Amino acid sequence: MKMTIAVIATLFTILPMLPADGSAQTPKKGSTLTIAGHAGEAQLIEINGKSYVEVETLALLTKGTLSFKANQTILTLQAAIPVVQASTPPVKPGLSRAFIQAGIEEISVIREWRTAIVNAVQTNTPVSEDWVAARHRLAEKNLALASAAVSTDDDRSAYPLLSAEFNNMQKLSDLYLATRNQNKFISPENFGNAALEEQILSCAQGLASMTENHEFQDQAACR
């Protein structure tokens, strides 16, 4: 698309017709003209307090073309090319693959950790502190990997639930170790962990369902 400007030819050829006498009529070089979006500049000539520029120079500056018709000089300008703003890529919906992988690993470790504690209470078979510490470090590592993998809105919504599951498992484990270190017999009926155990199990099941469906689903048991 082009823009055409018709101007009186004498406007840009005024300099040769000016009278030689009178300092007010004497052409003076003024500042320069720069057009946004175009390289280069044109010299402005000041006459009687007004600024002028040669039409040929203006055409070169704007990369336009000149044509002539009767007493008119026609300057045709190329329309400015619109600047296309880079659009922000849309956030991918659902859980990211890296988050799902880290989440699966975390759920697996917590399930193993919980099963060992529950079996230890039910069968009166102690679980060593070293084994528990190893499960804690592994679960903590997987949780950190999940945090680093967060890249979608679903990841950000799911991470607090995964973190809450880890914290609840830590509470159950600490309760077991504290009771065992008192050299007391741990009765399944008196351990007082049934509600927490069920919460951890229900949360793990809900998190597993999310990883299978690849999308966030709120889990009340994880809160």
Domain ranges of the chain: 2-17+25-78, 97-222
pLDDT at 83: 52
- pLDDT range class, residue 67, cuts 50, 70, 90: confident
Q: Which of 197, 201, 223 is nearest to 122 (CA)?
A: 197
Q: Which of 90, 176, 165, 163 is nearest to 129 (CA)?
A: 176
Ramachandran class of 18: left when φ > 0, alpha when ψ lies in -120 to 50, beta otherwise:
beta
3 state SS of 76: strand
Task: Pick the range with the lowest mean pLDDT from 76-80, 103-107, 213-217.
Answer: 76-80
Say if residue 60's pLDDT is above 50: yes
Q: Which residue has the tokens 């809900």?
A: 206
pLDDT at 194: 78
- In what helix (H) or strand (E) does residue 196 lie, and over which residues does it extend? helix 194-213
Over residues 158-170, the pLDDT tens digits come to 999 999 999 999 9
**Is 1.10.8 the CATH number for 97-222?**
no
CB atoms near residue 107 (< 10 Å): 22
Q: Which of 146, 161, 148, 156 is nearest to 91 (CA)?
A: 156
Over residues 31-55, the pLDDT tens digits come to 787 777 677 777 777 777 777 777 7
- In what helix (H) or strand (E) does residue 155 lie, and over which residues does it extend? helix 153-180
Q: Which of 166, 173, 174 is nearest to 207 (CA)?
A: 166
Task: Pick the range with the lowest mean pLDDT from 50-64, 88-102, 127-141, 157-171.
Answer: 50-64
Say if residue 11's pLDDT is above 60: no
CB atoms near residue 159 (< 10 Å): 19
Q: Edge-to-edge strands of the sheet including 65-69?
A: 2-8, 72-78, 65-69
CA 209/CA 107 separation, integer angstroms: 11
Give me the phi and psi of 109, to 5 degrees please: -65, -45
3 state SS of 69: strand
Task: Pick the range with the lowest mean pLDDT from 57-71, 88-102, 109-123.
Answer: 57-71
Q: What is the pTM of this model?
A: 0.59
